[in-house]
Amino acid sequence: MFAQSIGPIGASAIIAAKRHRRPVVCYIHNLESQLVPLAIGPNPLRKLLYPLMRWYSRLMYNKADLLITPSEWVSDELFWNRITRAKRVVRLGVDTDRFRPGDAEELRRKLGIGEEDVVIGQHGRLAREKDLKTLLRSFIRLRAKDKHVKLLIIGEGVPSIKRLLERQEGVILPGKQDDVTPYLQALDVFVLTSLTETTCLAALEAMSCGKPVVSTPVGFVKDYVKDGENGFLIDTGDAYALKQKLAWLIEHPTLRGRMGTEARKTVLDGFGWEQTITGIEAALQEAMER
């Protein structure tokens, strides 16, 4: 049995597999002990959820025969939470033939983006743990000085966050898209303000499209976003620092392009989809042999 979460469906599958003595392999895409409390936002229950989710994660993941993690960092986090099952690191990969630099002029026109506009943005859930309020505060400061800056957010999620974004001039919300590639190609800079991540596939997909990334130093992101080379790292919640880095990228289009080229090279060198497929197949074979 192969599970990719310990939500209701994943947990039920794990329990059923153990009951029928089937091998269980889990790929850790999220650290639920961090994600769930942050996802509920400011709430008196948050303090209670942290220890509860640590206990629940330990209970469920220790039922697995093998845990696949996207980085050594995630393996270490599981170890410190007393999750002792065997672990194998298999990096998340990107289909670099699909996610590649491309001409998005037609889409930009449809979205009302002019030739002189610079587009910053993000792809993912409109969720509390993404800290889109910090991104919006930075965007408002940029927009106050330059009306040619626009913010493109691809995805759906918490209605209150969507309403907050909708009220701001210059924000484009196309909603959830089956094919996100042209929207990533339409960006000039990808921004990740998350409070928690493991690897962040969306950031890697944007990098594969040749976009520099400005990100908080969350999870494995801080290891592949090289500050000043293929993007920038800023402290969590620091809207001023984010505004400064974005302003620099806006003002230096040639260097922005070079950083985007370096971003794609990072993905080509270490995050190819074939590497992920090979790694998962080997892990599943190992679990079967156990």
CA-CA distance, 207 to 215, in Å (whole number)?
12
The token duo for 183 is: 């929207």
Q: Do domains 2-93+272-289 and 105-270 have the same CATH topology?
A: yes
Can you give the residue ranges of every domain in the chain?
Answer: 2-93+272-289, 105-270
CATH fold, domain 105-270, is Rossmann fold (3.40.50)
Second-level CATH architecture of 2-93+272-289: 3-Layer(aba) Sandwich (3.40)
Residues 6+ apart with CB under 8 A from 142: 120, 149, 243, 246, 247, 250
Which among 16, 242, 246 has a CA at the least distance from the CA of 149? 246
Q: What is the model's pLDDT at position 123?
A: 96
- Summarize pLDDT for 188-211 with one digit per residue, the tens: 999 999 999 999 999 999 999 999
Is the pTM of the predicted complex or chain greater than 0.95? Answer: no
CA-CA distance, 257 to 7, in Å (whole number)?
40
3-class SS string, 264-288? HHHHHHHCEHHHHHHHHHHHHHHHH
Q: What is the model's pLDDT at position 40?
A: 75
**pLDDT category, 35, cuts 50, 70, 90?**
confident
Return the top range by mean pLDDT from 2-11, 12-21, 245-254: 245-254
CA-CA distance, 122 to 162, in Å (whole number)?
13
Asked whether the predicted pLDDT for residue 78 surpasses 80, the reply is yes
- Cα→Cα distances 47→33, 50, 277, Å: 11, 6, 38
CA-CA distance, 129 to 219, in Å (whole number)?
13
Asked whether the predicted pLDDT for residue 55 surpasses 90, the reply is yes
Query: Three-state SS for 214?
Result: strand
Lowest mean pLDDT among 45-54, 105-114, 142-151: 45-54
